[in-house]
Structure 1
Amino acid sequence: MSDTPLHPAEPVTEANVFWFIPTHGDGRYLGTTHGARAVSFDYLKQIAQAADSLGYYGVLLPTGRSCEDSWVIASALAPLTERLRYLVAVRPGLQSPTVSARMAATLDRVSNGRLLINVVTGGDPVENAGDGIFLSHTERYEVTWEFLSVWTRLIAGETVHYEGKHIRIEDGRLFFPSLQRPYPPLYFGGSSTAGIDVAAETVDKYLTWGEPPAQVAEKVAVVRAAAAAKGRKVTFGIRLHVIVRETNEAAWRAADELIQHVDDATIAQAQKTFARMDSVGQARMQALHGGRRDKLEVSPNLWAGVGLVRGGAGTALVGDPETVAQRMKEYMAVGIDSFILSGYPHLEEAYRFAELVFPLLPLAPGNGRDKGEATNHGPFGERIANTLPPAPKETAALRQASAS
Structure 2
Amino acid sequence: MTAASPPEVAWFGALCDDDYDLLGVADPALASSWDHCRDIALAAERNGFDSILMPSGYALGIDPVAFTAAVAPMLERICPLVAVRLGELWVPQLARQLATLDQILGGRLLVNIISSDLPGQALESAPRYRRTLETMTVLRRLLRGEAVAFHGEFLDLELDPPRLTAGSGTCPPFYFGGLSPAARDVAAAAADVFLMWPDTVAATAAVIDDLRGRAAAHGRTLRYGFRVHVIVRETEAEARAAARRLVSMLDADTGEAIRSRSLDTGSAGVARQGELREGADDEGYAEDHLWTGIGRARSGAGAAIVGDPDQVRAKLDAYRAVGIDAFILSGYPHLDECDRFGRLVLDRYPHAPLPR
TM range (shorter): over 0.9
In the alignment, which of 26, 29, 50 is matched to residue 22 of structure 2?
Answer: 29
- Residue 71 of structure 2 is aligned with which of 74, 77, 102? 77
| Superimposed CA distance per residue, residues 310-336 of structure 1 (whole angstroms, 9 cap, x where no aligned partner) | 111111000000000000000000010
Residue 99 of structure 1 is matched in structure 2 by 93
C-alpha displacement at 1:114, in angstroms?
Answer: 1.6
Output the CA distance in 2 between the equivalents of 1:35 and 1:257.
Answer: 20
* TM-aligned CA deviation for residue 359 of structure 1: 3.5
Scaled by the length of structure 2, what TM-score is found? Answer: 0.93
Q: How many equivalent pairs are there?
A: 352
Higher mean displacement: 160-169 or 38-47: 38-47
Unaligned runs of 5+ in 1: 1-9, 368-404
| Aligned residues of 1:12 and 1:337 also touching (Cα < 8 A) | no
1:45 and 1:233, CA in 2 relative to 1: closer, same or farther beyond 3 A?
same
Structure 2 residue matching 1:179: 3-state secondary structure: helix
Answer yes or no: is 1:55 the counterpart of 2:48: yes
SS of match in other structure, 2:153: coil
Which deviates further from its counterpart, 243-252 or 77-86?
77-86
What's the secondary structure of 2:345's corresponding residue? helix
TM-aligned CA deviation for residue 90 of structure 1 = 2.2
Contact 2:260 2:299 in 1 (8 A): no
Q: Which amino acid aligns with 1:44?
A: C
SS in 2 for 1:32: coil
Aligned residue identity for 1:310: R
The separation in 2 between residues aligned to 1:111 and 1:269, in whole angstroms, is 37
Q: Deviations over 1:153-173 (max 9, x none)?
A: 111111112110111112242
Shift in Å, 1:247:
0.2
Is the partner of 1:161 in helix, strand or coil? strand
Residues 274 and 132 (structure 1), Cα distance of their counterparts in 2 relative to 1, 3 Å cut: closer
Sequence identity of aligned pairs in percent?
39
Q: Look up the match of 1:306.
A: 294
Unmatched segments (≥5 aa) in structure 2:
none
Question: TM-score, normalised to structure 1's length?
Answer: 0.82
Q: CA deviation at 1:52?
A: 0.9
The Cα of 1:366 is off from its aligned counterpart by 7.6
- Larger radius of gyration between Structure 1 and Structure 2: 1
Match of 1:86 in 2: 80
SS at match of 2:196: strand
User: Does residue 140 of structure 2 align to residue 160 of structure 1?
Assistant: no
Matches within 5 A, 1:86-235: 86-122=80-116, 128=118, 131-179=119-167, 181-235=169-223
- Cα distance per residue 1:136-188 (max 9 Å; x no partner): 11111000111011111111111112110111112242211112642111100
Contact 2:33–2:62 under 8 Å retained in 1:
no
Partner amino acid for 2:327?
A: F
Counterparts of 1:267 and 1:42, CA distance in 2: 27
Amino acid aligned to 2:64: S
- For residues 67 and 35 of structure 2, the distance between their equivalents in structure 1, rounded to whole angstroms, comes to 11
What residue number does 1:17 align with?
Answer: 9
Residue 119 of structure 1 aligns to a residue whose secondary structure is strand
For 1:161 and 1:82, locate their aligned partners in 2 and report how far apart those are by CA, in whole Å: 37
| Equivalent position SS for 1:255 | helix
Aligned residue for 1:67?
61
Verify the 8 A CA contact 1:57 1:84 in the aligned structure 2: yes
Q: Mean Cα displacement is larger for which, 340-349 or 32-41? A: 32-41
Checking the alignment, whether the CA contact within 8 Å between 2:57 and 2:262 is kept in structure 1 is no
More deviation, 305-314/153-162: 153-162
- Paired amino acid for 1:348: D
State how far apart, in whole Å, the 2-side matches of 1:270 and 1:44 are.
Answer: 20
